Structure 1
Amino acid sequence: MCGIVGGVTNNDITALLLEGLNCLEYRGYDSSGLIVLSKNNSFDRVRSVGKVKNLEDSLKAREQKISGNIGIAHTRWATHGEPTINNAHPHISMNSVSLVHNGIIENYIELKNNQITQGYEFTSETDTEVIAHAIDFAMKSCNTLISSVQLAIKSFSGSYGLGIISSKYPDQIIATRKGSPLVIGIGNNGNYIASDQMALFSITKEFIFLEEGDVAEIKIDKITIYDLNGNLVDRPIKTSKLKKGQIGLGNYSHYMQKEIFEQPQAIRDTLESRITNNSVLISSFGHKAKENFIKIKQVQIIACGTSYHAGLIAKYWLEDIAKISCNVEVASEYRYRRPIILNGTLFITLSQSGETADTIEALKAAKIINSDICSLCITNSAESSLTRISDLTFLTHAGPEIGVASTKAFTTQLVSLALLVCSIGKLKKTISKKQEKGIVDGLKRLPGLVNEALLQEAQIKKLANRLKDTNSALFLGRGTMHAIAMEGALKLKEVSYIHAEAYPAGELKHGPIALIDKNMPVIAIAPNDELLEKLKSNLQEVKSRGSQMIVFEDENSKIQEMQAMEVIPVTSNLGPITAPIIFTIPLQLLSYHVALFKGTDVDKPRNLAKSVTVE
């Protein structure tokens, strides 16, 4: 969500702060700002509403250039208070403390009222300003900046990732996290902080990932870290394997487009070293996966957004193929109810970033309810919060996903879940060697099949032009294709701002059919499966009411074209595992091209964030 970057260095920090903010734009934000300590140890701050470009313009417009060796910067996604300059970070208290903050302080009203009685004045509507005042107040009784921060954070309820500087301690940054990710970058000319290592790739590939509750004192030549209990700790230095080309646009116009076309390779990378001799390696899910999987009696999947749709598809696979009961729930609802979690539950969390706040909290809650569950996270981020609190981890190898609308992260999650189904099924002896070989063969074919589906782009672009002026759209599917229809509707909403809904095709007569007329386009997915004939009947019902229709079909489905109906053959001979993945591709392309025709910000849709790290 919000983005943090900062550093203490031998050089002027301003250009690096701006570069870092530009790298973090994909996370979603509505204002930005930066602050540096000048040579006379006074704060020099600039903030703006809108894109980072507006901040850069504000800096250029200043008569006196901002310059300093220590500074912090932030992109804000509004929670408390509207997107205004006064609410933008960094915030300052008494000209002694300045900070940037990701997260939410839940007890800020109580803290604010108390601070007003202490004589503090507030210049914003944010929850963040109470943090700055709390640290300034703590400095009155502490003799170091880090001890002041350690004292202040004891009064906070909620989540935070903080970068803090002080005019009284001009040689250091304090970084601390609780529920919001923060990394330290180790450079040749100084040390740095960021909410995402991507912000620092131009200067370092060496990172320390702060653990929950850590407080770090960062100086130009020294890093000192204390844990939640105030104990001095060493955190390992990790070297990032990402390459510059992986995070650039290359020859593509948008990251969403690039990531759609990266899916064949992302799938290959996710399958690599996970299959041998037509068999899935159970150890891919961790060295203790086999002993845990053999004991499971049911599966619980928790996720949000696109990952939730992946979970819904996995439910079909797990119950139909592996013959094991599976429940799927939205993390933000699950964490606030009191579920019954039976012994023998495999608790699966799905998250592209591994930092989705609701998913993390749902897992923590589940562990309190039943400490004997085995937890597995499927994520695209090796050093995420979810990987640290899960018993088992399976990494998708999608590579960096910058576009807010998830594409390759979704398809690689499905590939990962298919491998999981095989692993559980063969351990439970519900999948034969012949069945496993069939699934593995299908997975191996996937990169080629995705490439074939991508060849439909020109035809899909023409269809997108017809949809650009519509206000609403209806997506239909049956079985696993209902979840794919949900994903297609979500993508269209996210990037084009067209209202879209998805329904099981069999539910048409239970209400949605009332919406259908010539102004309501219907997009249907027609694989060649046991529900095909029933789907064809549903399509006839839609067509008889005058709808403009688009049908993506398996070539063998042989949907009969009618007036105002466009049928696009996607591929042929798909099985229950490969079909949902392949039919996702044309829906991604459709959403992308509709958004282009409408002129929306494809990679950074309004009001959205890539990683939802606050509730």
Structure 2
Amino acid sequence: MCGIVGIIGSKTVTSRLMAGLRRLEYRGYDSAGLAIAADGAIDRRRAKGKIVNLEAVLTVDPLDGPVGIAHTRWATHGAPSVTNAHPHRAGRVAIVHNGIIENFAEIREKLAHRNLESDTDTEIAAHLIDHEIDQGGTIQDAVGRALAQFRGAYALGILVEDEPHRIYCARRGSPLAVGIGKGERYLGSDAMALAALTDQLIYLEEGDWAVLESDSIQIFDDNGTPVERDITVVRGADDIADKGSFDHFMLKEIHEQPDTLARTLSHYLDLAAMGVSLPEELDLGQINRIVIVACGTAFYAGMVGQYLFEQIAGVAVDIDIASEFRYREPVLDPNSLMIVVSQSGETADTLAALRYAKEAGLKTAALVNVMTSTMAREADVAMPINAGPEIGVASTKAFTSQVAALACLAVGAGELRGKLDSDSVATHVRELMGLPTKVADSLKSAAEIATIAGTLAGASSAFFLGRGTMVPIALEGALKLKEISYIHAEGYAAGELKHGPIALIEDGTPVIASAPMDGLFEKTVSNLQEVAARGARVILFTDAEGKAAAGDQVDTCLVLPTAPMISAPIVQAIGQQLLAYHTALALGTDVDQPRNLAKSVTVE
């Protein structure tokens, strides 16, 4: 959510700040702005909507200098508007902010004598820093005193008019990195923001704050003690913000899945031994229970993992939505393993759940796409999905790589727990290694799916059904359609239809089912007959054997490659991704940056 980029040096920075903001568009935003320190003064430009609007403002009213901070905002406090856009000003202070200052009302009351322009918590933060400067001492001391008063999640970039040779920054709960260049220092929400500027990054740790000058970085911990943090060399981030020959990043990322899955699987599978390579620290053979916690699409990947761990490894699994996990005060067995699943590794609710489990004494593992993320650093075990940077807000390749990694872990756990013999393990390994080819074959159905999507685009509501491991695929299919086409969609376990949802079926209602031929196929088809009898238009995603068995009982049948239980969810997910994409395309929505959504949700 939101994005920050900052530069301090001797050369002008506006064009490079704007380039950094464009790299952050994938995070989701509804306004943008920048502030420049030059000639002993700070000035700013802001615009509602896309970055192109800010570019238009700068064309009419240029602004440049050697020091600047810039921001893309996803609205939390206050509606999207120029007034609420960042950077915010208060006296000598300009500030950009990702996250939420939870005690902003308390601070606002303390500063009631000051004039406020916006509805945001960020402006309150700027006023508090300016107020602390008024209290005396050095500006650095004043910034430290203000930071100590904030509660919540934040990443901050701060300019102070009296010190135009410095950028202050701080991080608590929201990710932030500083970069090193020749005669310059940088500030960014992630490596993408700074990819064209440097490959040398320092990831600030929880509670850190820093003072950047053109040739130095001073970092302080939560107690104000000077600390050193490691420099990480990040390669390749500059190469991926390119759609290539594809119309959208989402379509590119859908088509990258044969390669991304191969990378995921090669990390976890040992082909020489026909086995699974697990991190030694996991010790999956000794735990009593697995707790999987995630949000959104990652939660549905975790649901598939739950089925696989229980069916393949015989280990009990709880799965929780991260935003609810702590608040139900779960009873946790210390001999459990918590696996948090997150593409970014920064999802606020999931990170809070991870910390809750660590405090309760559980071993923790983070399954993430960003191995420099907060979750990867704080978990006992960090496990990559190796999907590569994902730009489209609606997750595709990260989802399938998460499922693939969980499938590998389930096989490894099954072997360690004595549920699988070596022949069974080898069978699963062969099946998983065949997955990239099956996904590539699934992508050949794109044209046929586009035709189906053209008819779906006129619907006001749709239902997605499945049984077994297809239930989370139905839920994920519905989410994808909602996210990028804005058509209301619901996913259900097919057996639940008769318990209420069937009341919503009327003539022409699209019902999309994922049902490859398996032990639950006949039950699913029976459920489809129930909705067809009430006028539903039934679209079945299945395999060749399923199509033959379904006959004329469905309106439309889309055949995907035949796949075994362990990989069928991923094959079916490809069809759902393409259906959502082409429906959104037919409706003309913004596929890569759907309204109201952000790529990385770093606030609760």
1:100 corresponds to which residue? 96
C-alpha displacement of 1:564: 6.6
C-alpha displacement of 1:314: 0.9
C-alpha displacement of 1:560: 2.9
C-alpha displacement of 1:537: 1.3
Q: Are the equivalent residues in 1 in contact too, given 2:275–2:426 (CA < 8 A)?
A: no
2:338 corresponds to which residue? 347
CA distance in 2, matches of 1:553, 1:506: 18
1:423 corresponds to which residue? 412
Query: What SS does the corresponding residue of 2:121 show, helix, strand or coil?
Result: coil
2:85 corresponds to which residue? 88
CA distance in 1, matches of 2:273, 2:503: 49
Q: Are the equivalent residues in 1 in contact too, given 2:35–2:45 (CA < 8 A)?
A: yes
CA distance in 2, matches of 1:311, 1:281: 19
Task: Write the mapping of 1:204-243 to structure 2, written as runs, cut at 5 A.
Answer: 204-243=198-237
C-alpha displacement of 1:506: 1.2
Comparing 51-60 with 556-565, greater Cα deviation is found at 556-565
CA distance in 1, matches of 2:388, 2:241: 9
2:116 corresponds to which residue? 122
Choose which of 431, 434, 438 in structure 2 pairs with 1:445. Answer: 434
Q: Are the equivalent residues in 1 in contact too, given 2:529–2:553 (CA < 8 A)?
A: no
Query: What SS does the corresponding residue of 2:328 show, helix, strand or coil?
Result: coil
Choose which of 269, 273, 279 in structure 1 pairs with 2:274. Answer: 279
2:384 matched to 1:395? yes
CA distance in 1, matches of 2:17, 2:453: 39
1:320 corresponds to which residue? 311
CA distance in 1, matches of 2:474, 2:37: 52
1:562 corresponds to which residue? 552
Comparing 224-233 with 409-418, greater Cα deviation is found at 224-233
1:9 corresponds to which residue? 9
Give the letter for the 1:104 counterpart.
Answer: I
Q: Are the equivalent residues in 2 in contact too, given 1:475–1:523 (CA < 8 A)?
A: yes
Query: What SS does the corresponding residue of 1:381 show, helix, strand or coil?
Result: coil
C-alpha displacement of 1:499: 0.3
1:110 corresponds to which residue? 106
Task: Write the mapping of 1:319-398 to structure 2, written as runs, cut at 5 A.
Answer: 319-368=310-359, 370-371=360-361, 373-398=362-387
C-alpha displacement of 1:74: 0.7
Choose which of 108, 131, 138 in structure 2 pairs with 1:144. Answer: 138
Residue deviations 1:389-448 (CA, integer Å, cap 9, x gap) = 100011011001000000000000011101111221111111211111111111100110
1:270 corresponds to which residue? 264
C-alpha displacement of 1:604: 0.2
Query: What SS does the corresponding residue of 1:410 show, helix, strand or coil?
Result: helix
Query: What SS does the corresponding residue of 1:288 show, helix, strand or coil?
Result: helix
1:55 corresponds to which residue? 54
Give the letter for the 1:51 counterpart.
Answer: K
C-alpha displacement of 1:243: 4.9
C-alpha displacement of 1:538: 1.4
Q: Are the equivalent residues in 1 in contact too, given 2:12–2:64 (CA < 8 A)?
A: yes
CA distance in 2, matches of 1:14, 1:597: 37
CA distance in 1, matches of 2:74, 2:514: 36
Q: Are the equivalent residues in 2 in contact too, given 1:278–1:441 (CA < 8 A)?
A: no
Q: Which runs of 5+ in 2 are unaligned?
A: none
CA distance in 2, matches of 1:282, 1:423: 7
CA distance in 1, matches of 2:275, 2:580: 34
CA distance in 2, matches of 1:99, 1:419: 45
CA distance in 1, matches of 2:470, 2:318: 18
C-alpha displacement of 1:535: 1.4
Query: What SS does the corresponding residue of 1:610 show, helix, strand or coil?
Result: coil
C-alpha displacement of 1:142: 4.7
Residue deviations 1:437-487 (CA, integer Å, cap 9, x gap) = 111111100110000000000100000100111000011100010110000
Q: Are the equivalent residues in 2 in contact too, given 1:335–1:365 (CA < 8 A)?
A: yes
Choose which of 168, 187, 206 in structure 2 pairs with 1:174. Answer: 168
Aligned pairs, how many?
602
CA distance in 1, matches of 2:489, 2:132: 51
Choose which of 501, 509, 525 in structure 1 pairs with 2:498. Answer: 509
C-alpha displacement of 1:188: 2.1
2:19 corresponds to which residue? 19
C-alpha displacement of 1:544: 1.8
TM-score, length-scaled by structure 2:
0.98
CA distance in 1, matches of 2:513, 2:149: 53
- Stretches of 4+ moved more than 6 A in 1? none
Give the letter for the 2:388 counterpart.
Answer: G
C-alpha displacement of 1:387: 0.9
Q: Are the equivalent residues in 2 in contact too, given 1:280–1:419 (CA < 8 A)?
A: no
Query: What SS does the corresponding residue of 2:19 show, helix, strand or coil?
Result: helix
2:311 matched to 1:305? no
Q: Which runs of 5+ in 1 are unaligned?
A: none
Tell me: CA distance 1:163–1:237, structure 2 relative to 1, closer, same or farther (3 Å): same
Comparing 438-447 with 182-191, greater Cα deviation is found at 182-191
CA distance in 1, matches of 2:463, 2:45: 45
Tell me: CA distance 1:473–1:265, structure 2 relative to 1, closer, same or farther (3 Å): same
Residue deviations 1:291-314 (CA, integer Å, cap 9, x gap) = x32321100000000000011111
Query: What SS does the corresponding residue of 1:401 show, helix, strand or coil?
Result: coil
Percent identity of equivalent pairs: 46
Query: What SS does the corresponding residue of 1:513 show, helix, strand or coil?
Result: helix
Comparing 484-493 with 265-274, greater Cα deviation is found at 265-274
1:79 corresponds to which residue? 76
Q: Are the equivalent residues in 1 in contact too, given 2:268–2:405 (CA < 8 A)?
A: no
Choose which of 127, 133, 140 in structure 2 pairs with 1:133. Answer: 127
Instruction: Give the root-mean-square deviation of aligned CA atoms.
Output: 1.3
Q: Are the equivalent residues in 2 in contact too, given 1:559–1:567 (CA < 8 A)?
A: no
C-alpha displacement of 1:177: 0.3
CA distance in 1, matches of 2:154, 2:328: 24
CA distance in 2, matches of 1:14, 1:607: 27
2:284 matched to 1:288? no
CA distance in 2, matches of 1:564, 1:480: 21
Comparing 548-557 with 471-480, greater Cα deviation is found at 548-557
